[in-house]
Structure 1
Amino acid sequence: MTDYSQIIKSPLFQGIPEEECRMLFSKIHYQLRKFEKNELVVQGGEEVRYLLVVLSGSVRGEMIDYSGKTVKIEDIEAPRPLASAFLFGKENKFPVTVTANQKAELLAIPVAEFLKLLQLNTRLLRNYLNSISTRAQFLSQKLHFLSFKTIKEKVAHFLLQQAGEKFHSFDLKNTQQQLAELFGVTRPSLARVLGEMQNDELIKIEKKTVTLLDKKGLNKLLLNG
């Protein structure tokens, strides 16, 4: 059964009343797909033929770098869409391989049917344009992040980005294992770098709180890189 109350929480359908959403979906063909934990959702390089929206659970996007390592790009929680920026264009292929983190249900709307929805509802069209613009900005930041060569540079960039210009401390939401996957390194390697940065009095970590003791020093790591 289609849960329209969950669909309208998605960034793409936000602001559209539930009854209006129900009416829109009555005019198109779509599917609800269920996946088990660690089940493949889509393979990287596969043609994007559907708009996919995570309705429950979460999935992860991963890619293999030139050294053969699997690098996690991000986790996609419900009710976010997948690869919405790749629905149209010449190279409309999934940029990453997507796998279920846990039991998950996804809404699948064929591209042609989604195009009908965009023509029927201007709010949905505006949401979609905002979504792909935000995605383009995220990918730009990710490319910048991947340009750093050493683990220490990546960690410094991440910490500075999390704290922002105005603050010197923040609560870390990720575990060390999650951060290691984000950086494409092993957990011991990440722990060693964090230990070195604390010994150099660049940062201080107390439980989940990270304090940047020397922002200039962290920025210097990036400039020297």
Structure 2
Amino acid sequence: MEILTKCPLFKGIDYKGVSQLLEEIPYQVKKYEKGNMIAQSGDECRSLMIMLKGSVKGEMIDYSGKAIKIEDIEPPKPLAIAFLFGENNECPVNIVANNAVEILHLPKKSVIELMQISSLVLKNMMNIISSKTQFLSDKIRFLSFQTIRGKIAHYLLQLSGPVDGEMILSKSQEELANMFGVTRPSLGRALRDLHNENIIEAKGKSIKILNRDQLIKQLKK
């Protein structure tokens, strides 16, 4: 219950309130081991899943069979919430356990009952779906860049905002390579090339944009 009070779906509802809501509906808590496939791309979304413990990753498989990681998800975030309703309510990605995981499963009928019982849950649900739609829109825009340099440029420009300054990357090169859908050596070479061309200054996880105009031009290549 303590974890669920921090879940976006129950924002503004205290421990006692969440407990009372769950007493009104059926739900299940399921456990998964590292590497378990929790949901597969194309599966019908029949329940709302909320992370209680551990971490999972959402990934897509391209035509070559390579897995492209979309994001890591940790408690208390919900999974594939934007795809629970609608005519084609299929899971858009594979969801795989990064480690030992516990997930709360709320059947679709239970979610509808929650929204009918609590106006706060209804409001939170609408906010979550809107935010997730915006996130997916940004992700599609990012994946549309064909070159590694274009992907790096887009990532750094988003990270820096309108002001050029030193940035400390929160992700390792391995994590960035997985996110970009490229190999780590290819990512390293592209970063070195941008550094040698004085477009960025790269020192480990420290990145500084030296020539914003040239970096923006990488988006068009």
Q: List aligned pairs for 1:1-225, cutoff 5 A.
A: 4-223=1-220, 225=221
Q: Secondary structure at the match of 1:91?
A: coil
In the TM superposition, residue 37 of structure 1 has moved relative to its aligned partner by 1.1
**What's the RMSD between the two structures over aligned residues?**
1.0
Output the CA distance in 2 between the equivalents of 1:88 and 1:5.
Answer: 27
In the TM superposition, residue 57 of structure 1 has moved relative to its aligned partner by 1.0
Runs of 4+ displaced beyond 4 Å:
none
Output the CA distance in 2 between the equivalents of 1:168 and 1:215.
Answer: 11
Output the CA distance in 2 between the equivalents of 1:212 and 1:18.
Answer: 46
Look up the equivalent residue of 2:219 and give its one-letter code: L
Output the CA distance in 2 between the equivalents of 1:185 and 1:208.
Answer: 18
Q: Deviations over 1:94-117 (max 9, x none)?
A: 000000111111000000011100
Output the CA distance in 1 between the equivalents of 2:215 and 2:186.
Answer: 18
Look up the equivalent residue of 2:103 and give its one-letter code: L
Look up the equivalent residue of 2:46 and give its one-letter code: R
Look up the equivalent residue of 2:3 and give its one-letter code: Q
Q: Deviations over 1:58-97 (max 9, x none)?
A: 1000111123221111111111000101111100110000
Q: Secondary structure at the match of 1:5?
A: coil
- Number of equivalences: 221
Output the CA distance in 2 between the equivalents of 1:56 and 1:171.
Answer: 28
Q: Unmatched 5+ residue regions in structure 1?
A: none
Output the CA distance in 2 between the equivalents of 1:83 and 1:18.
Answer: 24
Output the CA distance in 1 between the equivalents of 2:204 and 2:11.
Answer: 36
In the TM superposition, residue 207 of structure 1 has moved relative to its aligned partner by 3.2
Q: Secondary structure at the match of 1:12?
A: helix
Normalising by the residue count of structure 2, what TM-score does the alignment of the two structures yield?
A: 0.97
Output the CA distance in 2 between the equivalents of 1:213 and 1:124.
Answer: 46
Q: Secondary structure at the match of 2:8?
A: coil
